[in-house]
């Protein structure tokens, strides 16, 4: 494998990492506050659809982004209502949200555009254009750093940089602010937060809504950044890979960056080499497709590292008995 191929793979890994990272951070916010979220997939899917539909009609990618966030927030509200306000089963609510998005996107897409669930192809201002980072061309000549900066880091859409910026931002808010401290406490021991006179319900709603916004950005990126339009089931399990990355990252923001980059890299390698030849053995692409899930199971089993989820995750908080 020559250098150009390697740079290409790293570049494509970064591009594929972005939606995973956004969704993974979304899950992190929600689960750190003690609300399981297996509805990441559905929220991304409906956001991708809304973003593509609105961008196609208005011709503005920013209107599309806003629509994507709005659609994802609407499903986040359903989840919060079921999981927090009515203290229902958070896992079942997530499952329902995934199906709801899967059905609604095709139903609405078919009736609005009549393309069998697709939206029209987006072009020009209806898509996110790549940004060349300052100095990318000037630094290109510098060995190692130059090509890495110019080829891998530069030339992505703004949402990729937003995703990257959200890693330190999430870390700072969660670990350095009062809101973050309370939010993490609500995921570990909600009763203590309640005793301190802070509303558990409000904090959890805030966390679930933040997750909604992040999934909205992730979905909008899929439809208007990574591809040019919405196709049926376009998230293709990314919400679940993000969930896997979250476990891999042990519910921590910086590790989420590492985990999602690893999974993005696997996808990039699988795309580039449908069957990877490593000396005498040929690895079929299905192995690469399944690898994130297999790795997650191994992590969950505690054979490498130890997964320590937030303690109150999945349990509705009952104030009075």
Partner 1 sequence: MTRLPRWADLVLTPLISLVLAFGLSALVILAIGESPWLALKTMVTGALGSSYGWGYTLYYATNFVFTGLAVAVAYHAGLFNIGGEGQAAMGGLGVALVCLALPWPHWALALPAAMLGGAAFGALWALIPAWLQAKRGSHIVITTIMFNFIAAAALNYLLANVLRPTGSMDPATARFPEGTALPRLTDMAAALGLDWGKATPANVSFLVALAACGLVWLLIWRTRLGYEIRAFGKSERAARYAGISPARITVVAMLISGGLAGLMAINNVMGEAGRLVLNSVEGAGFIGIAVALMGRNHPLGILLAALLFGFLYQGGGELALFTQIPRELIVVIQALVILFTGALDNMVRMLIAPLFARRGGA
78 lies in the binding site for partner 1 (CB under 8 A):
yes
Token duo for residue 48: 């991708």
67 lies in the binding site for partner 1 (CB under 8 A):
no
307 lies in the binding site for partner 1 (CB under 8 A):
yes
Half-sphere exposure of 231 (CA within 13 A, CB side): 6
Shortest Å, Cβ 198 to partner 1: 24
Shortest Å, Cβ 224 to partner 1: 23
310 lies in the binding site for partner 1 (CB under 8 A):
no
Token duo for residue 200: 């558990």
Task: By CB under 8 A, name the one of 8, 58, 89, 271 that touches partner 1.
Answer: 89
Spatial distance between the Cα atoms of 234 and 132, rounded to a whole number of angstroms: 27
Are 190 and 42 a contacting pair, CB within 8 Å?
Answer: no
Pick between residue 165 and residue 294 the one whose CB is nearest to partner 1: 294
Stretch that binds partner 1, among 12-20, 45-53, 83-91, 138-146 (CB under 8 A): 83-91
| Dihedral sign (CA 23, 269, 101, 160) | positive
289 lies in the binding site for partner 1 (CB under 8 A):
yes
Task: By CB under 8 A, name the one of 19, 34, 68, 117 that touches partner 1.
Answer: 117
Please report, for residues 14, 30, 191, 295, the alpha-carbon distance to residue 161 in angstroms, rounded to integers and kept in the order given: 10, 22, 38, 27
Q: Which residue, chain included where needed, has tokens 């490593």?
A: 278
260 lies in the binding site for partner 1 (CB under 8 A):
no
Helix (H, G, I), strand (E, B) or coil at 207: helix
Stretch that binds partner 1, among 9-17, 97-105, 172-180, 220-228 (CB under 8 A): 97-105
Task: By CB under 8 A, name the one of 142, 169, 301, 318 that touches partner 1.
Answer: 301
Spatial distance between the Cα atoms of 40 and 51, rounded to a whole number of angstroms: 16
Phi, psi of 282 (to 5 degrees): -105, 125
Please return the burial class of 189, using the count of CB atoms within 10 Å of its CB with bins 0-12, 13-18 and 19+.
Answer: middle
Helix (H, G, I), strand (E, B) or coil at 31: helix
Shortest Å, Cβ 4 to partner 1: 30
By CB under 8 A, what part of segment 31-60 binds partner 1? Answer: 38
Could you tell me whether strands 281-284 and 275-278 are parallel, antiparallel, or unpaired per DSSP bridges?
A: antiparallel
Please report, for residues 25, 248, 297, the alpha-carbon distance to residue 261 in angstroms, rounded to integers and kept in the order given: 13, 12, 18
Task: By CB under 8 A, name the one of 77, 106, 139, 269 that touches partner 1.
Answer: 106
Q: Which residue, chain included where needed, has tokens 């609005």?
A: 112
81 lies in the binding site for partner 1 (CB under 8 A):
yes
By CB under 8 A, what part of segment 215-254 binds partner 1? Answer: 237, 240, 243-244, 247
Stretch that binds partner 1, among 84-92, 126-134, 151-159, 190-198 (CB under 8 A): 84-92
Interacting residue ranges for partner 1, rule: CB under 8 A: 38, 78, 81-83, 86-93, 95-100, 102-104, 106-108, 110-112, 117, 237, 240, 243-244, 247, 284, 286-287, 289-290, 293-294, 296-297, 300-302, 307, 309
């Amino acid at each position: 494998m020559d250098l150009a191929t390697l740079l290409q793979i790293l570049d494509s890994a970064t591009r594929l990492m972005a939606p995973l990272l956004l969704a993974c951070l979304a899950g992190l916010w929600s689960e750190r506050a003690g609300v399981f979220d297996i509805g990441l997939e559905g929220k991304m899917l409906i956001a991708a659809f809304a973003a593509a539909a609105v961008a196609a009609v208005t011709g503005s990618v920013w209107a599309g982004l806003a629509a994507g966030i709005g659609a994802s927030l609407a499903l986040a509200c359903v989840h919060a209502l079921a999981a927090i306000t009515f203290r229902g089963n958070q896992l079942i609510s997530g499952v329902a949200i995934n199906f709801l998005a899967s059905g609604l996107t095709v139903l609405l897409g078919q009736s609005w555009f009549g393309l069998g669930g697709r939206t029209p192809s987006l072009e020009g201002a209806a898509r996110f254009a790549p940004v060349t980072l300052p100095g990318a061309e000037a630094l290109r000549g510098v060995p190692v750093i130059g090509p890495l900066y110019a080829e891998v880091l530069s030339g992505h859409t703004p949402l990729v940089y937003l995703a990257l910026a959200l890693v330190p931002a999430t870390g700072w808010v969660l670990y350095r602010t009062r809101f973050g401290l309370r939010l993490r406490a609500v995921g570990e021991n909600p009763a203590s937060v309640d005793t301190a006179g802070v509303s558990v319900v409000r904090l959890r709603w805030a966390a679930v809504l933040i997750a909604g916004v992040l999934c909205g950005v992730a979905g909008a990126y899929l439809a208007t950044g990574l591809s040019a339009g919405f196709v049926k089931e376009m998230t293709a399990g990314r919400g679940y890979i993000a969930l896997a990355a979250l476990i891999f990252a042990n519910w921590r923001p910086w590790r989420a960056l590492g985990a999602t980059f690893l999974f993005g890299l696997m996808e990039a390698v699988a795309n580039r080499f449908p069957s990877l030849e490593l000396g005498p053995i040929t690895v079929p692409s299905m192995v690469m497709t399944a690898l994130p899930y297999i790795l997650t199971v191994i992590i969950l089993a505690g054979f490498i590292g130890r997964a320590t989820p937030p303690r109150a995750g999945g349990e509705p908080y009952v104030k009075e008995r």
